[in-house]
Amino acid sequence: MDNLAIKLRPKKLKDVIGQTHLLGEGKILTNLINNKKIISMILYGKPGTGKTSIALAIASELDVRYRLLNAVINSKKDFDVVIEEAKLYDGILLIVDEIHRLNKDKQDILLPHLESGLITLIGMTTSNPFHKINPAIRSRCQIFELKEHSDEDIINALNKATKSGLLPDIKIDKKAKEAIMNLASGDLRYAYNLLEMAYYASNDKKITTSFLKEINAKPIFFHDSSDDGHYDVLSALQKSIRGSDVNASLHYLARLIEGEDLDSLCRRLNVIAYEDIGLANPSIGPKVDAVIHSVERLGLPEARIPLSVIVIEMALSPKSNSAYLALDEALNDIRSGNTSNVPNHIKTNSPDYKYPHDYPNHYVKQQYLPDKLVGKEYYKAQNNKYEKQLKEIYDKLKNIN
């Protein structure tokens, strides 16, 4: 028996909730459908963002033959069957869930048919395709990121569900809908499933916040009231670490752990390591990477343990943004045309190049910057122990005749 989420699955793109950066008048996917064109693509985003709904709506609107497979569950033989069907009907749309887990055997049989156009692929994944999907598959697909549903999206979807007639005589107030919205954390499927469970678990079809607390093990967790509440918490975590407030950092870490969004949390910690701590504590980047690997292996609830260690260390670490500020200044020069040719003596195979390793202290004075930028200093060391040491080394080298 189909659940509520499947019963409410849209048949057309215009009925898909959210993803307005891709869907709607003048937007990429809508234009493709209007032009009766289908291309191989990868849809990636968190659970409940509508990947399957969009893929099936595309197939429905274009009225094309399609098959839906899972990269883990379905065997190589299942993929062979689809290829033979594609040959029989001169093409097919293949929708593959968890495409980041497609093994080499399945990739090998798919690739030539993707190349020839016999198979059009829509891959779906919760993992970043630039990190997790085989480059040979990725290069043959356009990549579209699906964003978390906003609070408004979730409320609109709940209103649609309660008015659909699929839950007869349901009684639910605004606060209960907002509680489901906050519990869902942008996951529309979760919101539908919770609504349906609450409906059938009640004896009078009435859903309240107190009843939701009874049936849901996860505490009702409220982000800030804006549609971007989740990102506000990520921002608050970064600003708290940057401001060296260890207690606030732990508070926002706890909120993000409770929201169970480890991917966004780990990405943000990686950014903080290099944007806010940087050269003041260069060991922090590899430490964050090690924690991310631990988080991936452990999952919740154990992942909270290494996360607590690294967030405390990051909050109490010395801070520096000198490195990325230096690069941004160099990028501004490039983009504004403030540059000139590479000096001849450091061009490829130049006989005039002086090889530093042939000189004392592995250093010899010679010009590296283009003529127009000689004397330019992008990097400005900040007042922390490690950068002071770097500055001393650099100043000493500059004074060598």
Q: What is the pLDDT averaged over residues 178-186?
A: 85
**Rounded to an integer, what distance in angstroms lies between the CA atom of residue 182 and that of residue 193?**
14
Residue type (1 letter), 366: Q
Q: What percentage of the chain reaches a pLDDT higher than 90?
A: 64
pLDDT in tens, 58-70: 999 999 999 999 9
**pLDDT confidence bin for 260, thresholds 50/70/90:** confident
Q: Which of 121, 89, 90 is nearest to 106 (CA)?
A: 121
At 401, is the pLDDT very low, low, confident or very high (cuts 50, 70, 90)? low
User: Is residue 148 scored above 90 in pLDDT?
Assistant: no
Average pLDDT of the chain is 89
Read off the amino acid at residue 270.
Answer: N
C-alpha pair distances (Å), 99 with each of 42, 126, 266: 9, 9, 22
Q: Are 38 and 65 in contact (CB under 8 A)?
A: no
Integer Cα distance of 289 and 269 in angstroms: 9
| Percent share of the chain, pLDDT over 70 | 96
| Banded model confidence at residue 134, pLDDT cuts 50, 70, 90 | confident
3-state secondary structure 161-184: HHCCCCCCCCEECHHHHHHHHHHH
Residue 319's closest CA among 282, 290, 265, 291?
Answer: 282
Q: Has residue 48 got a pLDDT over 90?
A: no
Q: Does residue 109 sit in helix, strand or coil? A: helix
Residue 228: pLDDT above 50? no
302-331 pLDDT, tens digit each? 999 999 999 999 999 999 999 999 999 999
pTM of the model: 0.58
Instruction: Note the pLDDT of residue 217.
Output: 58
How many of the other CB atoms lie within 10 Å of CB of 227? 17
- Please report, for the chain, how many H helices and E strands are present, in that order: 18, 7
Averaged over 234-260, what is the pLDDT? 91
Residue pLDDT, tens place only, 10-44: 999 999 999 999 999 999 999 999 999 999 999 99
**In terms of DSSP bridges, do strands 119-125 and 92-97 run parallel, antiparallel, or are they unpaired?**
parallel
